[in-house]
Structure 1
Amino acid sequence: MIKRLVDLFFRINFRITLLDRYIIKELIPKFFFSVVICSIVAEVVGISFEEIKFAIEEDLSTAIAVYTHWLKLPAFICIVLPFTLLISNLLVYQKLSSKNEIIALQSIGISLYRLSIPSLAIACVAMIFMFTIQEVIVPPANYEAAINLERELNVDRTQLAKYNKKEIIYQEFETEENRKHLKILFFAERFDGKKMLEITLLKFKNKQLRQIILARSAQWDKKQQKWQLFSGVSNILNPEGDYISTRKFEQLPLNLGRKVFDYASDDRDHREMNIIELYRRLALVRDTANTKKVREIEISIQQRYAAPVSCMIFTLLGSALGINSKRKAKYNSFTVAAIVIVVYCCAQFVSTTLSVSQAISIFWGVWFPNLLGLSIGYFILMRKN
């Protein structure tokens, strides 16, 4: 089987034809021009209004504002990259149609599918480029931009409501006969960046509750690699659930592990983490029984894969809509591009919202806009061909 695949690979003709060079030569200038224009517009709309408010109310310096724009630029390039592929392909293929070049190429047996291959090749390169940028450059740049603004405005990130964790739940399980049973249930009402407050700890043995510990606070001890509980009471129970003993303590060490500390102390937004860090974050959150948070991270991870793939989808849509057998198109390319972008964004918003609310699965919530665009693009191209 492997030998056949290798033989098939070497039989494929990767030679770039004159037609390919011609289409690529037409596409590249329009693509870069669209990237520049769309990135500037997106950045102006996305940042400036917020920074004007900061500049007026908080006396934000010009240097910080310019530096924030610079750090946010890679993120906006990744956002607009699929849209620029749509616009550039629309312009190029409409130009070919208006000069009757599409009809001429079809008359010598070249199908519309073959005409779209050069643009899809460029989209493939753009997809790899986008994935690399969004994972290597965008997360640290977003984090640096946020930290600089917070430093300029004298904001302590650990005190923000967004990162000041409430109702922290952590669980540990033991496996018996291929079944998981609860071993430890840890609950804290709040984490202030250094200490867990109002602790409740339940310990189970043989599927029965055997110990209840209540404490005013808990803090991670880096040297001993243990939790230290302060000002609390420890209750021991028998298998029937009756209290055997009650003991007050001022300080009590606890072998719980630092997973719960890593979960509670993480102060980065999803946009400030790459996909590897998101997977690590997901592994931590799964132990905390926070199903809503788990779903949000899983959606963010899927979006990291879906966003670069949208480069291929918008390229297919652009070439399919731009190709026309008539001399003049009945529509303006920018109007069509605007409609496609709005429809795509609306579909993305609705499907993501339904996915977060668990009305539909994560796969359909994230990938539905791409699948919809792929179906429409292929259907249009097939009809025209």
Structure 2
Amino acid sequence: MATSSPETISQSPSLKRRWFPTIPIMDRYISQELALPFLFGVGAFSSIGVSVGALFDLIRKVTEAGLSIYLALEILLLKLPEFIVLSFPMATLLATMMTYSRLSSDSELVALRACGVSVRRLVAPAIVLSLMITGLTFAFNELITPAANYRAAITLEQALNAERPPFQESDILYQEFQAGGSRHLNRLFYARQFDGERMQGLTILDFSQDGLDQIVSAESASWNVGNNTWDFFNGTIYAVSPDGSFSHIVKFDHQELQLPRTPLDLASRTKADDEMNIAEARRQLEMIRQSGDAREIRVWQVRIQQKYALPFVCLVFGLVGASIGVLPQRTSRATSFGISVVIIFGYYLFAFIANAMGEVGVLSPWMSAWLPVLLGIAVGSLLLARASR
């Protein structure tokens, strides 16, 4: 009788240490069933978004503005990540609904439940998939989509001979409000032109001192980095008394004034909201805070919270779709697609209303962005609990 040596036993495949956990057969099967509808949803919803949001406009620019087809295709490819990432939550909903509805209609869920598998265990692969897509969505929104949108905008402007300058060239307007969120104007800063270093044709209305308003008019001004002040050249300072008369007028060739640097920063900003990641949006918010404009501050606070909350819509739709799909029913793929469209429309309508309420101050910025997500998770959890009975 042959015996095995210790070395042979230690190298036996059945006794080797498993460094990676094996995925149960049921999870692999459900995951494979989820993959194809998800990819179909990404393709379908991305195609619709690209057609409505970019393709028609590019065709118009090709025919009316002379944009070359090659550049139009390049811009279309650069805009594609934005619509792909928007399709992820919708594709997750479609995939979970179609997959679990198909398993339910074919009585496969009944067989699995008869074997002792709970409904919560059945939807676990959908939840894991939703969490993975949530992380993928966040990565797209931070690393790919803002840079691609910015490059698309620059490419289009260069092609149409309207290249975006690295700074705002004219009509620099900055309003500074009193601290504490008040809508009372503290200063109004206006410059007619800006060449990147020096502003021309300036007018500053200063209401910061009680009982005395000032008007500063200057030919030009530049930021003094060493002193953190503005150097104004060839101008006049008018001091206005409460009765509207000029208490004194001072002409100057050069005058240093303690005004915020914010107008210079505003003139140098070139990116739109969808061209910024979270870090860039936070820098923009900090700059706007210096103005004291409560409405604009709230808008940017809502935008930043939206960047955090948007990826978790995938989790909401995955939970809701799986919870509806496991209900005993016989639903066709066309019906699942139609129900998905209704849920998507209802969710984004509610999200739009909540975001608008956040911008006007009815809801806090955090609540306006996260309320639809939290409510969606609550609804999905209730549907799952109902299906588990």
TM-score scaled by length of structure 1: 0.82
Q: Secondary structure at the match of 1:137?
A: helix
Q: State the distance in 2 between where 1:306 and 1:70 align.
A: 26
Residue correspondence of structure 1 range 166-181 to structure 2 within 5 A: 167-170=173-176
Match among 186, 198, 203 for residue 199 of structure 1: 203
RMSD of aligned Cα (Å)? 3.3
Residue correspondence of structure 1 range 202-213 to structure 2 within 5 A: 202=206, 212=214
Determine whether 1:304 maps to 2:307. yes
Per-residue deviation, 1:212: 3.7
Contact 2:218 2:236 in 1 (8 A): no
Aligned partner of 2:283 in structure 1 is 280
From the superposition, tell whether residues 251 and 260 of structure 1 become closer, same or farther in structure 2 (CA, over 3 Å).
same
Aligned partner of 1:70 in structure 2 is 77
Match among 110, 121, 126 for residue 103 of structure 1: 110
Determine whether 1:48 maps to 2:55. yes
One-letter amino acid of the structure 1 residue matched with residue 317 of structure 2: F
Unaligned runs of at least 5 residues, structure 2: 1-19
Residue correspondence of structure 1 range 124-135 to structure 2 within 5 A: 124-135=131-142
Match among 372, 376, 380 for residue 379 of structure 2: 376
Aligned partner of 1:360 in structure 2 is 363
Residue correspondence of structure 1 range 248-259 to structure 2 within 5 A: 248-256=251-259, 258-259=261-262
Match among 120, 140, 143 for residue 147 of structure 2: 140
Match among 18, 25, 28 for residue 18 of structure 1: 25
Q: State the distance in 1 between where 2:384 and 2:39 align.
A: 25
Q: Secondary structure at the match of 1:199?
A: strand
Aligned partner of 2:265 in structure 1 is 262
From the superposition, tell whether residues 287 and 221 of structure 1 become closer, same or farther in structure 2 (CA, over 3 Å).
closer
Q: State the distance in 2 between where 1:221 and 1:187 align.
A: 17
Contact 1:170 1:260 in 2 (8 A): no
From the superposition, tell whether residues 171 and 358 of structure 1 become closer, same or farther in structure 2 (CA, over 3 Å).
closer
The number of residues matched between the two structures is 358
Q: State the distance in 2 between where 1:164 and 1:272 align.
A: 22
Q: Secondary structure at the match of 2:290?
A: helix
Determine whether 1:94 maps to 2:67. no
Q: State the distance in 2 between where 1:275 and 1:121 align.
A: 25
Aligned partner of 1:187 in structure 2 is 188
From the superposition, tell whether residues 146 and 50 of structure 1 become closer, same or farther in structure 2 (CA, over 3 Å).
same
Question: Deviation string for 1:17-37 (max 9, x for gaps)?
Answer: 222122112112322232123
Question: Deviation string for 1:39-90 (max 9, x for gaps)?
Answer: 1222122111211221222111101110111101111111110000111111
Q: Secondary structure at the match of 1:354?
A: helix
Larger radius of gyration: 2
Contact 1:87 1:333 in 2 (8 A): yes
Q: State the distance in 2 between where 1:160 and 1:255 align.
A: 23
Per-residue deviation, 1:186: 4.1
Question: Deviation string for 1:119-151 (max 9, x for gaps)?
Answer: 111111111111111111111111111111111
Contact 2:201 2:219 in 1 (8 A): yes
Aligned partner of 2:66 in structure 1 is 59
Deviates more, 1:164-173 or 1:132-141: 164-173
Unaligned runs of at least 5 residues, structure 1: 1-12, 174-178
Q: State the distance in 2 between where 1:211 and 1:16 align.
A: 73
Q: State the distance in 2 between where 1:314 and 1:334 align.
A: 13
Deviates more, 1:111-120 or 1:35-44: 35-44
Q: State the distance in 2 between where 1:89 and 1:192 align.
A: 56
Per-residue deviation, 1:367: 2.2
Q: State the distance in 1 between where 2:352 and 2:51 align.
A: 22
Q: Secondary structure at the match of 1:60?
A: coil
Q: Secondary structure at the match of 1:373?
A: helix
Q: State the distance in 1 between where 2:353 and 2:170 align.
A: 29
Deviates more, 1:35-44 or 1:295-304: 35-44
Contact 1:189 1:196 in 2 (8 A): no
Q: State the distance in 2 between where 1:280 and 1:165 align.
A: 23
From the superposition, tell whether residues 76 and 346 of structure 1 become closer, same or farther in structure 2 (CA, over 3 Å).
same
Contact 2:146 2:274 in 1 (8 A): yes
Q: State the distance in 2 between where 1:120 and 1:47 align.
A: 32
Q: State the distance in 2 between where 1:137 and 1:226 align.
A: 38
From the superposition, tell whether residues 250 and 296 of structure 1 become closer, same or farther in structure 2 (CA, over 3 Å).
same
Q: State the distance in 2 between where 1:235 and 1:112 align.
A: 76
Aligned partner of 1:79 in structure 2 is 86
Contact 1:213 1:232 in 2 (8 A): no
Residue correspondence of structure 1 range 346-357 to structure 2 within 5 A: 346-357=349-360
